Amino acid sequence: MIAILAVLIQLGCQAKESSSALNNGALGDTNKVKSMSYQVQKTEEEWKNALGDEAFRVLRLKGTERPFTSEYETLWEAGTYVCKGCGQELFSSETKFDAGCGWPSFYKGIDSSRIKEIPDLSHGMNRVEVVCSACGGHLGHVFTDGYGQPTGLRYCINGVSLGFKKKP
């Protein structure tokens, strides 16, 4: 059982890396955020201008940032992490932990209604994507590998999808 768990944890990390490699290449329409009925609506051009290239690629085209590149991965100050797309408060620094995966990780969100979970079968993997409930921006994935305690959940989030509000 322990061996299986270890393999699963490994897969979680590797999955992100291989998906990063794939997403750096050609992007099909299937990778784009489905507009649906999100509260915050912008045209593709508006998103691009507001976010810049890298955040646009991750948030709106469901890309993955390279591991260990986000300043937030090693940030341990008290504060609140917000969606870079719309400013909605998503994660508290109190639930952030070091998963060693190379991406900012949290064991729960501030409020489950602010994070929408979507089954993601892309790249031959069975994962659960997490997006901002207000703008639909791609944040990352949530894994149930037991790494994040006490919930057992690991929200593996692209730092470029986030902003940080330091606790005053």
Q: Which residues bind Zn ion (CB under 5 A)?
A: 83, 85-86, 88, 132, 134-135, 137
Pairwise CA distance, residues 33 & 19, whole Å? 16
Pairwise CA distance, residues 2 & 146, whole Å? 11
Nearer Cβ to Zn ion (58/134): 134
User: Could you tell me the smallest distance in angstroms from the CB atom of residue 30 to Zn ion?
Assistant: 21
156 is catalytic: yes
CA dist list (Å): 107 to 27, 28, 88: 30, 31, 18
Q: Helix H segments across 24-115?
A: 44-51, 53-59
Nearer Cβ to Zn ion (12/85): 85
User: Could you tell me the smallest distance in angstroms from the CB atom of residue 138 to Zn ion?
Assistant: 10
Nearer Cβ to Zn ion (34/123): 34
Angle at 136 between CA 112 and CA 58, to 5 degrees: 110
User: Could you tell me the smallest distance in angstroms from the CB atom of residue 145 to Zn ion?
Assistant: 26
Q: Which residues are catalytic?
A: 156
